[in-house]
Structure 1
Amino acid sequence: MKNKKKDQLALSKNGLPLSQKKILFVSRWGEILDVALAVKNEGHHVKLFIEERSCREIGYGFVQKSADWRKHIAWADYIVFDYTGYGEECEKLRTEGKLVFGGSSYTDSLELDRNFGQVELKRHKIKTLASKDFYSFSDAIAYIQTHPNAYVLKPSGITQELKQLLFVGNDDRGLDVIRMLFAYEKSWGDRFGTFQLQNKVKGVEVSIGAYFNGSKFLQPVNITFEHKKLFPKELGVSTGEMGTSMFWTLDSPLFQKTLKPFESTLAQKNFRGHIDVNCIVNGNGIYPLEFTSRFGFPQVFIQRAGLSEPISALLMGVAEGTKNQIQVKKGFQVGAYIVVPPFPYDDKKTFELFSKDAVIVFKKDQKEGVHPMHVKMVNEQWLITGNTGIAVLVTGTGITMRDAQRNMYNRMKNVIVNNGYYRTDIGDRWLEDSDKLWSWGLL
């Protein structure tokens, strides 16, 4: 009896279930590797499917791969989708009785159709910035000429995945956006698709993220500050993201005024996953810009650094609809990508010349806080693969933002990536941004 009790305790430590579960991860680009690996290390059986062919080497040597995720539906106890666009699949699987972490048709539309997202914000009585959708460059140019202003140019649909196409204008008459539209018309033509012009306002950029269990939001929620430009001090091209700082909180005016009003709607849609809304805030109010109705990358990995419970328990609890509370650490979390050429550009020749199969070296055999991104493992060595040049994400935690930064950058010193580059100022904005948010009553 004594030995049996000991075995049960070992199996259930850290809140893990007594029985192993089978979890199938369905990924668009392979971004979810780190989470899949963590779930495997927490004692579960994992399979990872990657849709994009050029990224299918990602994860080899780390987790078991799947060539066709649909063949493993019956095998899986839980299915986790990591990207937007799988909403209809998620709904169908849920009606068949499967436990699914992922989106819905409604939440897909919130992210992919910018105009729909803005309409829904207004329907939920949330303040928005003036915006207008366009299908032709000439119409957009004519609009700016008759409505001179500073604008943000945002691609919609699939094109919005190319973060370098988003353009934030600075000219009060919109002349810089007009020049960009002329350039896109020549280089992209009809392939560019729908895009949006949104009035630009100045303020603090902040995101509010939360997990939803099918009926309500889990507490605490996550407040995130993204660093999108390639170089320190917000210089260079927009990359989607180079790093992020964040914290968890039980009480947030930002959450109450943005995501919370969507609670009943998301419950009607039986959404079970993660949703995030990116905002600009200033002394005049909170202005939601766009939804991310899926995992944010690298947001989810930095969130994981702040959990004090297994991430498998979070994913399964959300899919089941049984989890209401998240166990998190006090303080702050930060994370920064180490990237290699040609990031953030798509250049196959440069990637193969400088980065393909490059080795990630650790000075000491210590990988805590280092999250594998577009990598594979061969003979215990991490090799860069895929096609984008994102090698690893390094995270740090601490009671203060400075503590978290020191923790992260100390860990980075242990990682050698040939031709690698990263930002050295992730988290620095917090010192000024927090003062503004406090003065506006938003923290």
Structure 2
Amino acid sequence: MRVLGIGHCNDLAAMYAGMQTRGHDVRAYVRDPASHSVFAGMVKRTDDWQQDLGWVREAGDQGLILFETADQGTVQDALRAEGFQVIGGSALGDRLEADRAYGQQVLRDAGLRTAASHSFASYGQALDFVRSRRQRYVLKFNGAHNPRTRNYIAQTADSRDLAALLDFYCEHEASADTQPDFVLMEHVDGVEIGVGGYFNGQQFLETACIDFEHKRFFAGELGELTGEMGTVVSYAHSSALRVKVLLPLTDVLRDGGYCGYINVNLIANADGLWPLEFTSRFGYPGYAICEALHREPWEAIFRKLLQRPGAQHAGAFRSAVAPGFEAARDFAVGIVLTVPPFPHPHGYAALSKGLPVIPDSSLSPAERAGLSFAEVELRGHTLLTSGTCGYVGVATGCGSSVDSARSRALDLARKVYVPNLRYRSDIGERVSPKVLADLRLWGYL
């Protein structure tokens, strides 16, 4: 295949490298100049993806354009209209992820229950709202480019701590370059779990996965909300959530021209499912952790995503499922490896950029396959940290239980040597047998 990857920071670089190793011709466009070094010496980079469209078209049905981010959906839609094979998302997908209020409305229209959510464009107005309601809220910013570290979950029952943060933001609002855009969502107690599926423009593939993200920087769920510091994934226990959450979205995704992976993050409890947000793209480290369970390479999955059967009639989502792909029935646990100053970019060049990354020489082929690097480059024969913030990669282990997968992931993380390497040692601990038993009891696994 000829694969043209288009992204901001080369987030799917390890995926490109794998396809390249398997004999495919890959070119990656990296929009952010500061990320041009990511996978330098390992993946071919192009400076102008539009100039490479002819190269993709010449390959016919073996040509593929792969988008990494949820902010280029209009471009994807236009390329599909021109006859290109495109995987990533769509303009609809961009809005589902970036506009939280809209995403919640789509979920409600699909028959799912959501927690109350309130939109704001002023910190002062939000502060007055929180003080008047005196209950627990979650602050979430809209837009694909807002850093996850700015989101906040109130720790006190009356959101006093959130009010203090909003007051802090309010003091700085006058000097901000742009107007804030965020929601306050009522906090719901329960088990946080995600369900993700692969949508081919008409239907979901039969294969879907569940995940348990660990978003805080420190062990024990302390520190900033980073996006992800590690995740537990399984393809074997997903059918109930696929039916309850993903399949009801079939019609809206089909009408919106969506093609790619999509994930819905939820809170599950004895009272029901509470969808929180969409991820309308391949997530990182999610795609790398999923890959450890795949029995088919990414290019085989992409071919299945590009096979478009005839459109199903509206409202028939329960039968709108295409054949899936083979995946192990194990759990996979991925642990994110970082160096200072992650999760913040400030000072990275002085602190950690250019450090050697040394995998242990005793690694087995299976262990090497479990290492998916991110912000690295190859100079000569030496692997070095690169990029913008110190996101070195992810170490993934698989096993028949969460504990066995976690143990293998930790063993692998300990065999990667980088000065001042940091990672959480508790990824997967909260996904206990009791948590899984509760989810089964409630009918979600």
Q: Is TM-score (shorter-chain normalized) higher than 0.5?
A: yes
Moved more, 429-438 or 72-81: 429-438
Q: Distance in 2 between matches of 1:269 and 1:376?
A: 37
CA contact (8 A) 2:97 2:144 kept: no
CA contact (8 A) 1:99 1:320 kept: no
Q: Shift of residue 330 of structure 1?
A: 1.8
- Which residue type is aligned with residue 264 of structure 1? D
Distance 1:59 1:320, change over 3 A: farther
CA contact (8 A) 1:103 1:272 kept: yes
Q: Distance in 1 between matches of 2:290 and 2:179?
A: 33
Q: Which residue of 2 aligns with 1:206?
A: 193
Task: Give the alignment of 1:186-265 within 5 angstroms.
Answer: 186-189=171-174, 190=176, 191=178, 193-249=180-236, 252-265=239-252
- Which residue type is aligned with residue 121 of structure 1? L
1:340 aligns with 2:339: yes
Q: Distance in 2 between matches of 1:204 and 1:398?
A: 22
CA contact (8 A) 2:232 2:428 kept: yes
CA contact (8 A) 2:236 2:329 kept: no
Q: Shift of residue 430 of structure 1?
A: 1.4
Q: Which residue of 1 aligns with 2:104?
A: 118
Q: Deviations over 1:328-372 (max 9, x none)?
A: 01211111111000001121xx31222111110122163331111
Percent identity of the aligned residues?
31
TM-score, normalised by the number of residues in structure 1: 0.92
Q: Shift of residue 248 of structure 1?
A: 0.1
Q: Among residues 354, 357, 380, which one is paired with 1:357 in the alignment?
A: 354
Moved more, 427-436 or 207-216: 427-436
TM-score, normalised by the number of residues in structure 2: 0.91
Q: Which residue of 1 aligns with 2:19?
A: 39
CA contact (8 A) 2:267 2:275 kept: yes
Q: Which residue of 2 aligns with 1:7?
A: none
1:316 aligns with 2:315: no
Q: Shift of residue 412 of structure 1?
A: 1.8
Q: Which residue of 2 aligns with 1:395?
A: 396
- Which residue type is aligned with residue 71 of structure 1? Q
Q: Among residues 66, 69, 74, which one is paired with 2:49 in the alignment?
A: 69
Q: Which residue of 2 aligns with 1:13?
A: none
Q: Distance in 2 between matches of 1:310 and 1:255?
A: 22
Q: Shift of residue 252 of structure 1?
A: 2.6
Q: Among residues 66, 69, 91, which one is paired with 1:83 in the alignment?
A: 69
User: Tell me, what secondary structure is at the counterpart of 1:303?
Assistant: helix
User: Tell me, what secondary structure is at the counterpart of 1:157?
Assistant: coil
Q: Distance in 2 between matches of 1:345 and 1:268?
A: 38
- Which residue type is aligned with residue 169 of structure 2? Y
User: Tell me, what secondary structure is at the counterpart of 1:326?
Assistant: coil
- 4+ aligned runs moved over 6 Å, structure 1: none
> Would you say how many aligned residue pairs link Structure 1 and Structure 2?
420
CA contact (8 A) 1:363 1:414 kept: yes
Q: Shift of residue 268 of structure 1?
A: 1.9
CA contact (8 A) 2:209 2:238 kept: no
Moved more, 408-417 or 33-42: 408-417
Q: Shift of residue 193 of structure 1?
A: 1.9
Q: Give me the CA root mean square deviation.
A: 1.5
Q: Which residue of 1 aligns with 2:121?
A: 135
Distance 1:340 1:250, change over 3 A: closer
User: Tell me, what secondary structure is at the counterpart of 1:258?
Assistant: helix
Q: Deviations over 1:175-222 (max 9, x none)?
A: 211111111122354435211000001110001100001111112211
